[in-house]
Structure 1
Protein backbone atom coordinates (compact mmCIF):
# COMPACT_ATOMS: atom_id res chain seq x y z
CA UNK A 1 0.00 0.00 0.00
CA UNK A 2 1.04 3.61 -0.64
CA UNK A 3 -0.39 5.92 2.04
CA UNK A 4 -2.13 9.01 0.66
CA UNK A 5 0.29 11.85 -0.10
CA UNK A 6 -0.84 15.40 -0.82
CA UNK A 7 1.70 17.22 -3.02
CA UNK A 8 1.65 20.67 -1.44
CA UNK A 9 5.10 21.72 -2.68
CA UNK A 10 4.20 21.18 -6.34
CA UNK A 11 1.60 23.97 -6.34
CA UNK A 12 3.85 26.68 -4.94
CA UNK A 13 4.18 29.68 -7.27
CA UNK A 14 2.46 27.71 -10.08
CA UNK A 15 5.89 26.81 -11.45
CA UNK A 16 4.85 23.53 -13.03
CA UNK A 17 2.48 23.35 -16.04
CA UNK A 18 1.66 19.77 -15.01
CA UNK A 19 1.96 18.54 -11.46
CA UNK A 20 0.86 15.71 -9.19
CA UNK A 21 -1.89 16.86 -6.83
CA UNK A 22 -2.01 13.71 -4.72
CA UNK A 23 -1.08 10.04 -5.08
CA UNK A 24 -1.50 6.77 -3.18
CA UNK A 25 -3.26 3.43 -2.88
CA UNK A 26 -5.34 1.81 -0.15
CA UNK A 27 -8.25 -0.47 0.64
CA UNK A 28 -10.97 1.81 -0.65
CA UNK A 29 -14.01 2.64 1.50
CA UNK A 30 -17.16 4.51 0.54
CA UNK A 31 -16.43 8.05 -0.60
CA UNK A 32 -18.93 10.70 -1.72
CA UNK A 33 -17.87 13.87 -3.54
CA UNK A 34 -20.97 15.93 -4.45
CA UNK A 35 -18.82 18.78 -5.77
CA UNK A 36 -16.31 16.55 -7.52
CA UNK A 37 -12.57 16.74 -6.94
CA UNK A 38 -10.41 19.84 -7.66
CA UNK A 39 -7.99 17.89 -9.90
CA UNK A 40 -8.26 15.30 -12.66
CA UNK A 41 -7.91 11.72 -11.40
CA UNK A 42 -6.60 8.43 -12.75
CA UNK A 43 -7.59 5.26 -10.88
CA UNK A 44 -6.12 1.75 -11.10
CA UNK A 45 -8.04 -1.16 -9.58
CA UNK A 46 -5.56 -3.80 -8.39
CA UNK A 47 -7.64 -6.20 -6.29
CA UNK A 48 -11.28 -6.76 -5.40
CA UNK A 49 -14.14 -4.89 -7.06
CA UNK A 50 -15.73 -1.47 -6.67
CA UNK A 51 -18.51 0.70 -8.04
CA UNK A 52 -18.18 4.22 -9.43
CA UNK A 53 -21.36 6.30 -9.50
CA UNK A 54 -21.00 9.43 -11.62
CA UNK A 55 -23.76 11.98 -12.02
CA UNK A 56 -25.59 11.49 -15.30
CA UNK A 57 -24.08 8.03 -15.97
CA UNK A 58 -24.88 4.45 -15.12
CA UNK A 59 -22.97 2.76 -12.33
CA UNK A 60 -19.56 1.56 -13.51
CA UNK A 61 -17.81 -1.52 -12.12
CA UNK A 62 -14.05 -1.57 -11.64
CA UNK A 63 -12.51 -5.03 -11.50
CA UNK A 64 -8.82 -6.01 -11.10
CA UNK A 65 -6.71 -4.71 -13.97
CA UNK A 66 -8.99 -1.82 -14.90
CA UNK A 67 -8.28 1.90 -15.20
CA UNK A 68 -10.61 4.89 -14.92
CA UNK A 69 -9.96 8.54 -15.79
CA UNK A 70 -12.19 11.12 -14.08
CA UNK A 71 -12.18 14.87 -14.91
CA UNK A 72 -12.12 17.45 -12.14
CA UNK A 73 -15.33 18.90 -10.75
CA UNK A 74 -17.63 15.97 -11.62
CA UNK A 75 -20.11 14.84 -8.96
CA UNK A 76 -19.26 11.25 -8.06
CA UNK A 77 -19.05 8.61 -5.38
CA UNK A 78 -17.37 5.23 -5.23
CA UNK A 79 -17.49 2.29 -2.88
CA UNK A 80 -16.39 -1.36 -2.67
CA UNK A 81 -18.60 -4.15 -3.96
CA UNK A 82 -20.14 -6.41 -1.34
CA UNK A 83 -17.69 -9.21 -2.11
CA UNK A 84 -15.42 -10.55 0.66
CA UNK A 85 -12.17 -9.37 -0.93
CA UNK A 86 -11.10 -5.81 -0.10
CA UNK A 87 -10.97 -3.31 -2.97
CA UNK A 88 -7.40 -2.09 -3.49
CA UNK A 89 -7.47 1.11 -5.49
CA UNK A 90 -4.48 3.14 -6.66
CA UNK A 91 -4.90 6.76 -7.68
CA UNK A 92 -3.07 9.84 -8.83
CA UNK A 93 -4.62 13.28 -9.25
CA UNK A 94 -3.00 15.83 -11.53
CA UNK A 95 -3.47 19.48 -12.40
CA UNK A 96 -1.67 22.45 -13.95
CA UNK A 97 -2.11 24.79 -16.90
CA UNK A 98 -1.76 22.02 -19.51
CA UNK A 99 -3.65 19.30 -17.59
CA UNK A 100 -7.04 19.96 -19.22
CA UNK A 101 -5.61 19.91 -22.74
CA UNK A 102 -3.94 16.55 -22.00
CA UNK A 103 -7.21 15.24 -20.59
CA UNK A 104 -8.87 15.89 -23.98
CA UNK A 105 -6.59 13.24 -25.49
CA UNK A 106 -7.33 10.61 -22.83
CA UNK A 107 -10.52 9.42 -24.49
CA UNK A 108 -13.56 7.76 -23.02
CA UNK A 109 -14.02 8.21 -19.26
CA UNK A 110 -15.21 4.66 -18.60
CA UNK A 111 -13.37 1.78 -16.92
CA UNK A 112 -10.83 0.29 -19.35
CA UNK A 113 -9.58 -3.27 -19.02
CA UNK A 114 -5.79 -3.32 -19.38
CA UNK A 115 -3.51 -6.16 -20.40
CA UNK A 116 -1.57 -7.69 -17.50
CA UNK A 117 1.79 -6.25 -18.57
CA UNK A 118 0.22 -2.87 -19.31
CA UNK A 119 -1.45 -2.71 -15.89
CA UNK A 120 1.82 -3.59 -14.17
CA UNK A 121 3.63 -0.90 -16.18
CA UNK A 122 1.08 1.70 -15.05
CA UNK A 123 1.21 0.50 -11.45
CA UNK A 124 5.01 0.78 -11.46
CA UNK A 125 4.67 4.36 -12.72
CA UNK A 126 2.22 5.06 -9.90
CA UNK A 127 4.68 3.74 -7.32
CA UNK A 128 7.48 5.82 -8.86
CA UNK A 129 5.35 8.96 -8.52
CA UNK A 130 4.58 8.12 -4.89
CA UNK A 131 8.28 7.72 -4.11
CA UNK A 132 9.09 11.10 -5.67
CA UNK A 133 6.30 12.94 -3.83
CA UNK A 134 7.36 11.22 -0.62
CA UNK A 135 10.77 12.93 -0.94
CA UNK A 136 8.98 16.25 -0.28
CA UNK A 137 11.69 18.20 -2.11
CA UNK A 138 11.58 20.68 -4.98
CA UNK A 139 13.71 18.44 -7.19
CA UNK A 140 11.38 15.52 -6.44
CA UNK A 141 8.35 17.48 -7.59
CA UNK A 142 10.04 18.57 -10.81
CA UNK A 143 10.88 14.95 -11.55
CA UNK A 144 7.33 13.90 -10.62
CA UNK A 145 6.04 16.37 -13.21
CA UNK A 146 8.19 14.69 -15.87
CA UNK A 147 7.03 11.24 -14.72
CA UNK A 148 3.39 12.35 -14.73
CA UNK A 149 3.70 13.53 -18.32
CA UNK A 150 5.31 10.20 -19.25
CA UNK A 151 2.50 8.34 -17.46
CA UNK A 152 -0.25 10.21 -19.31
CA UNK A 153 1.56 9.88 -22.64
CA UNK A 154 1.78 6.11 -22.07
CA UNK A 155 -1.98 5.99 -21.47
CA UNK A 156 -2.67 7.97 -24.65
CA UNK A 157 -0.31 5.73 -26.63
CA UNK A 158 -1.95 2.60 -25.21
CA UNK A 159 -5.40 3.84 -26.18
CA UNK A 160 -4.16 4.74 -29.67
CA UNK A 161 -2.67 1.26 -30.13
CA UNK A 162 -5.98 -0.35 -29.10
CA UNK A 163 -7.90 1.78 -31.60
CA UNK A 164 -5.48 0.95 -34.41
CA UNK A 165 -5.60 -2.77 -33.58
CA UNK A 166 -9.38 -2.68 -33.77
CA UNK A 167 -9.14 -1.05 -37.17
CA UNK A 168 -6.54 -3.52 -38.37
CA UNK A 169 -8.83 -6.44 -37.50
CA UNK A 170 -12.32 -5.16 -38.31
CA UNK A 171 -15.16 -7.68 -37.91
CA UNK A 172 -16.34 -9.03 -41.24
CA UNK A 173 -13.79 -7.11 -43.30
CA UNK A 174 -10.99 -9.61 -43.83
CA UNK A 175 -9.11 -8.43 -46.90
CA UNK A 176 -5.94 -10.29 -47.88
CA UNK A 177 -4.76 -7.49 -50.19
CA UNK A 178 -5.01 -4.84 -47.50
CA UNK A 179 -3.35 -7.13 -44.97
CA UNK A 180 -0.48 -7.45 -47.41
CA UNK A 181 -0.36 -3.65 -47.68
CA UNK A 182 -0.16 -3.35 -43.90
CA UNK A 183 2.71 -5.85 -43.86
CA UNK A 184 4.53 -3.84 -46.52
CA UNK A 185 4.10 -0.65 -44.50
CA UNK A 186 5.46 -2.22 -41.31
CA UNK A 187 8.40 -3.77 -43.19
CA UNK A 188 9.30 -0.60 -45.12
CA UNK A 189 7.97 2.34 -43.04
CA UNK A 190 11.46 3.94 -43.06
CA UNK A 191 11.60 4.03 -46.87
CA UNK A 192 9.86 6.26 -49.40
CA UNK A 193 6.43 4.68 -49.65
CA UNK A 194 4.28 6.18 -52.38
CA UNK A 195 0.55 5.51 -52.47
CA UNK A 196 0.79 4.43 -56.10
CA UNK A 197 3.47 1.83 -55.28
CA UNK A 198 1.45 0.37 -52.40
CA UNK A 199 -1.69 0.17 -54.54
CA UNK A 200 0.21 -1.45 -57.40
CA UNK A 201 1.84 -3.98 -55.05
CA UNK A 202 -1.55 -5.31 -53.90
CA UNK A 203 -3.25 -5.10 -57.32
CA UNK A 204 -5.54 -2.09 -56.87
CA UNK A 205 -5.90 1.26 -58.57
CA UNK A 206 -4.76 4.19 -56.41
CA UNK A 207 -8.31 5.50 -55.97
CA UNK A 208 -9.80 2.14 -55.04
CA UNK A 209 -6.94 1.28 -52.69
CA UNK A 210 -7.21 4.62 -50.86
CA UNK A 211 -11.00 4.39 -50.55
CA UNK A 212 -10.90 0.79 -49.31
CA UNK A 213 -8.08 1.48 -46.82
CA UNK A 214 -9.93 4.45 -45.29
CA UNK A 215 -13.22 2.52 -45.06
CA UNK A 216 -11.60 -0.35 -43.16
CA UNK A 217 -8.83 1.28 -41.09
CA UNK A 218 -10.42 4.67 -40.51
CA UNK A 219 -7.46 6.67 -41.85
CA UNK A 220 -5.52 7.21 -45.06
CA UNK A 221 -2.51 4.97 -45.86
CA UNK A 222 -0.17 7.96 -45.53
CA UNK A 223 -1.54 8.87 -42.08
CA UNK A 224 -1.11 5.25 -41.01
CA UNK A 225 2.53 5.32 -42.11
CA UNK A 226 3.00 8.60 -40.27
CA UNK A 227 1.62 7.11 -37.03
CA UNK A 228 3.93 4.10 -37.34
CA UNK A 229 6.92 6.43 -37.77
CA UNK A 230 5.93 8.63 -34.81
CA UNK A 231 5.52 5.66 -32.46
CA UNK A 232 8.89 4.31 -33.63
CA UNK A 233 10.51 7.70 -32.96
CA UNK A 234 9.37 7.55 -29.31
CA UNK A 235 10.89 4.08 -29.02
CA UNK A 236 14.21 5.32 -30.48
CA UNK A 237 14.38 8.23 -28.02
CA UNK A 238 13.60 5.93 -25.08
CA UNK A 239 16.06 3.23 -26.17
CA UNK A 240 18.92 5.69 -26.69
CA UNK A 241 18.52 8.98 -24.75
CA UNK A 242 21.66 10.43 -26.37
CA UNK A 243 20.44 9.92 -29.94
CA UNK A 244 20.12 13.11 -31.98
CA UNK A 245 16.91 14.34 -33.60
CA UNK A 246 18.67 14.20 -36.98
CA UNK A 247 19.61 10.54 -36.46
CA UNK A 248 16.06 9.58 -35.53
CA UNK A 249 14.69 11.36 -38.60
CA UNK A 250 17.25 9.55 -40.75
CA UNK A 251 16.25 6.14 -39.32
CA UNK A 252 12.62 6.93 -40.09
CA UNK A 253 13.41 7.94 -43.66
CA UNK A 254 12.25 11.54 -43.08
CA UNK A 255 13.78 14.97 -43.61
CA UNK A 256 14.69 16.45 -40.21
CA UNK A 257 12.54 19.59 -40.53
CA UNK A 258 9.53 17.56 -41.69
CA UNK A 259 10.02 15.05 -38.86
CA UNK A 260 10.10 17.85 -36.26
CA UNK A 261 6.93 19.40 -37.69
CA UNK A 262 5.00 16.09 -37.71
CA UNK A 263 6.29 15.13 -34.23
CA UNK A 264 5.06 18.43 -32.77
CA UNK A 265 1.71 18.07 -34.51
CA UNK A 266 1.34 14.54 -33.08
CA UNK A 267 2.60 15.02 -29.52
CA UNK A 268 2.27 18.77 -28.94
CA UNK A 269 6.01 19.17 -28.38
CA UNK A 270 9.14 19.28 -30.49
CA UNK A 271 11.44 16.25 -30.18
CA UNK A 272 13.91 18.27 -28.07
CA UNK A 273 11.13 19.39 -25.71
CA UNK A 274 10.00 15.79 -25.40
CA UNK A 275 13.55 14.63 -24.57
CA UNK A 276 13.81 17.37 -21.94
CA UNK A 277 10.59 16.17 -20.24
CA UNK A 278 11.90 12.61 -20.30
Structure 2
Protein backbone atom coordinates (compact mmCIF):
# COMPACT_ATOMS: atom_id res chain seq x y z
CA UNK A 1 0.00 0.00 0.00
CA UNK A 2 1.29 3.50 -0.80
CA UNK A 3 2.31 5.55 2.21
CA UNK A 4 -0.17 8.31 3.07
CA UNK A 5 1.39 11.76 3.41
CA UNK A 6 1.02 13.54 6.72
CA UNK A 7 -1.48 16.39 6.29
CA UNK A 8 1.03 19.02 7.42
CA UNK A 9 3.20 18.19 4.41
CA UNK A 10 0.36 19.21 2.08
CA UNK A 11 0.10 22.81 3.25
CA UNK A 12 0.82 25.11 6.17
CA UNK A 13 -0.41 24.69 9.72
CA UNK A 14 -2.36 27.56 11.32
CA UNK A 15 -2.53 27.75 15.12
CA UNK A 16 -4.84 30.37 16.59
CA UNK A 17 -3.97 31.31 20.14
CA UNK A 18 -0.53 30.25 19.00
CA UNK A 19 1.32 32.78 21.14
CA UNK A 20 -0.03 31.49 24.46
CA UNK A 21 1.23 28.88 26.93
CA UNK A 22 -0.34 25.88 25.17
CA UNK A 23 -0.38 27.36 21.67
CA UNK A 24 3.39 27.80 21.67
CA UNK A 25 3.89 24.14 22.56
CA UNK A 26 1.59 23.11 19.71
CA UNK A 27 3.43 25.36 17.26
CA UNK A 28 6.80 23.97 18.39
CA UNK A 29 5.57 20.39 17.87
CA UNK A 30 4.53 21.10 14.27
CA UNK A 31 7.77 22.95 13.60
CA UNK A 32 9.74 19.95 14.92
CA UNK A 33 7.86 17.82 12.37
CA UNK A 34 9.02 20.15 9.60
CA UNK A 35 5.71 21.94 9.05
CA UNK A 36 5.42 25.53 7.92
CA UNK A 37 3.57 26.90 10.94
CA UNK A 38 1.70 30.18 11.38
CA UNK A 39 0.94 31.17 14.97
CA UNK A 40 -1.81 33.76 15.32
CA UNK A 41 -2.23 35.90 18.43
CA UNK A 42 -4.35 38.90 19.31
CA UNK A 43 -1.71 40.84 21.25
CA UNK A 44 0.94 42.47 19.01
CA UNK A 45 3.61 42.59 21.74
CA UNK A 46 3.17 38.96 22.76
CA UNK A 47 3.00 37.94 19.10
CA UNK A 48 6.34 39.62 18.42
CA UNK A 49 7.95 37.86 21.39
CA UNK A 50 6.50 34.51 20.30
CA UNK A 51 7.87 35.01 16.80
CA UNK A 52 11.38 35.53 18.14
CA UNK A 53 11.14 32.35 20.22
CA UNK A 54 9.57 30.16 17.54
CA UNK A 55 12.01 31.28 14.84
CA UNK A 56 14.64 29.02 16.40
CA UNK A 57 12.48 25.93 15.87
CA UNK A 58 11.87 25.90 12.13
CA UNK A 59 9.66 27.48 9.47
CA UNK A 60 7.72 29.68 11.87
CA UNK A 61 5.64 32.75 11.09
CA UNK A 62 3.49 34.83 13.41
CA UNK A 63 0.53 37.11 12.81
CA UNK A 64 -1.34 39.49 15.09
CA UNK A 65 -5.05 39.53 14.26
CA UNK A 66 -8.50 39.68 15.81
CA UNK A 67 -10.13 36.53 14.44
CA UNK A 68 -13.37 36.97 16.37
CA UNK A 69 -14.72 38.90 13.35
CA UNK A 70 -15.60 36.80 10.26
CA UNK A 71 -14.30 39.49 7.88
CA UNK A 72 -10.91 39.34 9.60
CA UNK A 73 -10.92 35.55 9.33
CA UNK A 74 -11.18 35.79 5.56
CA UNK A 75 -8.43 38.41 5.37
CA UNK A 76 -6.10 36.35 7.56
CA UNK A 77 -6.61 33.16 5.57
CA UNK A 78 -6.29 35.08 2.28
CA UNK A 79 -2.89 36.28 3.51
CA UNK A 80 -1.84 32.80 4.61
CA UNK A 81 -2.96 31.28 1.32
CA UNK A 82 -1.16 33.86 -0.80
CA UNK A 83 2.09 33.56 1.14
CA UNK A 84 2.24 29.89 2.12
CA UNK A 85 -0.56 28.00 0.35
CA UNK A 86 -3.90 26.60 1.46
CA UNK A 87 -3.82 25.56 5.12
CA UNK A 88 -3.84 21.78 5.57
CA UNK A 89 -4.16 21.86 9.37
CA UNK A 90 -6.03 24.33 11.55
CA UNK A 91 -5.72 24.29 15.33
CA UNK A 92 -8.26 26.53 17.06
CA UNK A 93 -6.60 27.44 20.33
CA UNK A 94 -7.75 31.04 20.77
CA UNK A 95 -9.74 31.56 23.93
CA UNK A 96 -10.28 33.61 27.07
CA UNK A 97 -11.59 32.94 30.55
CA UNK A 98 -12.61 35.06 33.46
CA UNK A 99 -13.92 33.87 36.80
CA UNK A 100 -17.45 35.12 37.43
CA UNK A 101 -20.34 33.81 39.44
CA UNK A 102 -23.55 33.71 37.37
CA UNK A 103 -25.09 36.48 39.48
CA UNK A 104 -22.19 38.79 38.59
CA UNK A 105 -22.09 38.22 34.83
CA UNK A 106 -22.79 41.11 32.49
CA UNK A 107 -24.25 41.06 29.00
CA UNK A 108 -20.98 42.41 27.58
CA UNK A 109 -19.01 39.61 29.23
CA UNK A 110 -21.39 37.03 27.79
CA UNK A 111 -20.98 38.44 24.29
CA UNK A 112 -17.18 38.72 24.59
CA UNK A 113 -16.43 35.19 25.75
CA UNK A 114 -18.72 33.59 23.16
CA UNK A 115 -17.25 35.81 20.46
CA UNK A 116 -13.65 34.88 21.25
CA UNK A 117 -14.11 31.23 22.20
CA UNK A 118 -16.93 30.06 19.94
CA UNK A 119 -17.47 32.48 17.08
CA UNK A 120 -13.80 32.62 16.11
CA UNK A 121 -13.54 28.82 16.15
CA UNK A 122 -16.65 28.32 14.04
CA UNK A 123 -15.80 30.83 11.33
CA UNK A 124 -12.10 29.91 11.19
CA UNK A 125 -13.07 26.25 10.83
CA UNK A 126 -15.68 26.91 8.17
CA UNK A 127 -13.40 29.14 6.11
CA UNK A 128 -10.44 26.77 6.38
CA UNK A 129 -12.54 23.71 5.52
CA UNK A 130 -14.05 25.41 2.46
CA UNK A 131 -10.56 26.22 1.22
CA UNK A 132 -9.24 22.72 1.95
CA UNK A 133 -12.20 21.28 0.06
CA UNK A 134 -11.62 23.46 -3.00
CA UNK A 135 -7.93 22.54 -2.99
CA UNK A 136 -8.79 18.86 -2.48
CA UNK A 137 -6.66 18.72 0.67
CA UNK A 138 -7.67 15.98 3.09
CA UNK A 139 -6.88 18.24 6.00
CA UNK A 140 -7.39 18.40 9.72
CA UNK A 141 -9.06 20.72 12.20
CA UNK A 142 -8.39 20.34 15.93
CA UNK A 143 -10.28 22.46 18.43
CA UNK A 144 -8.84 23.09 21.88
CA UNK A 145 -11.79 22.87 24.23
CA UNK A 146 -11.47 22.12 27.96
CA UNK A 147 -12.32 19.52 30.53
CA UNK A 148 -14.85 22.09 31.68
CA UNK A 149 -17.16 20.99 28.88
CA UNK A 150 -17.73 17.84 30.95
CA UNK A 151 -18.31 19.37 34.38
CA UNK A 152 -19.42 22.63 35.93
CA UNK A 153 -17.91 24.49 38.86
CA UNK A 154 -18.70 27.75 40.62
CA UNK A 155 -17.51 30.88 38.80
CA UNK A 156 -16.97 29.06 35.47
CA UNK A 157 -20.47 28.36 34.17
CA UNK A 158 -20.17 30.71 31.20
CA UNK A 159 -16.67 29.51 30.26
CA UNK A 160 -17.86 25.90 30.51
CA UNK A 161 -20.83 26.74 28.29
CA UNK A 162 -18.51 28.05 25.56
CA UNK A 163 -16.46 24.86 25.70
CA UNK A 164 -19.59 22.72 25.53
CA UNK A 165 -20.66 24.74 22.47
CA UNK A 166 -17.28 24.09 20.88
CA UNK A 167 -17.71 20.37 21.51
CA UNK A 168 -21.03 20.26 19.70
CA UNK A 169 -19.79 22.43 16.85
CA UNK A 170 -16.81 20.09 16.48
CA UNK A 171 -19.25 17.24 15.85
CA UNK A 172 -21.35 19.29 13.46
CA UNK A 173 -18.30 20.40 11.49
CA UNK A 174 -17.06 16.81 11.34
CA UNK A 175 -20.37 15.63 9.89
CA UNK A 176 -20.60 18.40 7.32
CA UNK A 177 -17.00 18.40 6.07
CA UNK A 178 -16.04 14.76 6.47
CA UNK A 179 -17.11 14.04 2.88
CA UNK A 180 -14.11 16.12 1.77
CA UNK A 181 -11.76 13.89 3.75
CA UNK A 182 -11.27 16.53 6.45
CA UNK A 183 -11.07 15.00 9.93
CA UNK A 184 -12.28 17.39 12.65
CA UNK A 185 -11.80 16.64 16.34
CA UNK A 186 -11.03 18.26 19.68
CA UNK A 187 -8.56 18.09 22.54
CA UNK A 188 -9.86 18.93 26.01
CA UNK A 189 -7.13 19.71 28.53
CA UNK A 190 -7.75 19.85 32.25
CA UNK A 191 -5.71 22.26 34.32
CA UNK A 192 -2.45 22.82 32.44
CA UNK A 193 0.70 22.94 34.54
CA UNK A 194 2.85 26.07 34.70
CA UNK A 195 6.27 24.99 35.97
CA UNK A 196 7.99 27.68 37.99
CA UNK A 197 4.85 29.66 38.83
CA UNK A 198 4.58 31.03 42.35
CA UNK A 199 0.96 32.18 42.10
CA UNK A 200 -0.62 30.84 45.31
CA UNK A 201 -4.12 30.71 43.79
CA UNK A 202 -2.88 28.54 40.89
CA UNK A 203 -0.84 26.30 43.18
CA UNK A 204 -3.85 25.71 45.42
CA UNK A 205 -6.00 24.63 42.47
CA UNK A 206 -3.13 22.56 41.05
CA UNK A 207 -2.83 20.62 44.32
CA UNK A 208 -6.56 19.92 44.20
CA UNK A 209 -6.41 18.66 40.61
CA UNK A 210 -3.46 16.39 41.35
CA UNK A 211 -5.11 15.02 44.44
CA UNK A 212 -8.41 14.27 42.68
CA UNK A 213 -7.09 12.91 39.38
CA UNK A 214 -6.64 9.19 38.82
CA UNK A 215 -2.98 9.55 37.82
CA UNK A 216 -2.22 12.43 40.23
CA UNK A 217 -0.75 14.56 37.44
CA UNK A 218 -1.65 17.75 35.64
CA UNK A 219 -1.86 18.19 31.89
CA UNK A 220 1.23 19.73 30.33
CA UNK A 221 1.46 21.88 27.19
CA UNK A 222 3.55 19.14 25.60
CA UNK A 223 0.89 16.50 26.32
CA UNK A 224 -1.75 18.69 24.69
CA UNK A 225 0.55 19.21 21.70
CA UNK A 226 1.09 15.46 21.40
CA UNK A 227 -2.65 14.82 21.21
CA UNK A 228 -3.05 17.58 18.62
CA UNK A 229 -0.26 16.07 16.53
CA UNK A 230 -1.92 12.66 16.61
CA UNK A 231 -5.33 14.01 15.57
CA UNK A 232 -3.60 15.97 12.81
CA UNK A 233 -1.79 12.92 11.49
CA UNK A 234 -2.57 10.47 8.71
CA UNK A 235 -3.21 7.84 11.40
CA UNK A 236 -6.25 9.77 12.61
CA UNK A 237 -8.17 9.77 9.31
CA UNK A 238 -10.87 7.48 10.76
CA UNK A 239 -11.44 9.64 13.86
CA UNK A 240 -14.10 12.34 13.48
CA UNK A 241 -16.15 14.46 15.84
CA UNK A 242 -14.38 13.04 18.87
CA UNK A 243 -12.40 14.45 21.80
CA UNK A 244 -9.23 13.43 23.58
CA UNK A 245 -9.41 14.50 27.22
CA UNK A 246 -6.07 15.18 28.92
CA UNK A 247 -6.63 15.65 32.62
CA UNK A 248 -4.95 12.72 34.34
CA UNK A 249 -8.34 11.13 34.86
CA UNK A 250 -9.74 14.08 36.82
CA UNK A 251 -13.07 13.91 34.98
CA UNK A 252 -13.26 10.10 34.97
CA UNK A 253 -14.92 9.93 38.36
CA UNK A 254 -14.72 10.94 42.01
CA UNK A 255 -11.74 9.78 44.03
CA UNK A 256 -13.16 11.53 47.09
CA UNK A 257 -16.44 9.58 46.99
CA UNK A 258 -17.00 7.95 50.41
CA UNK A 259 -16.22 4.25 50.37
CA UNK A 260 -18.60 1.76 51.86
CA UNK A 261 -17.28 -0.30 54.70
CA UNK A 262 -16.97 -4.00 53.82
Sort the TM-score into its range (normalised by shorter chain): under 0.3
Relative to the length of structure 1, the TM-score reads 0.23
The structure, 1 or 2, with the larger RCO (C-alpha pairs under 8 Å, 6+ apart) is 2
Q: Decide which structure has the larger Cα Rg and report it.
A: 1
Please identify which structure carries the higher strand content: 1
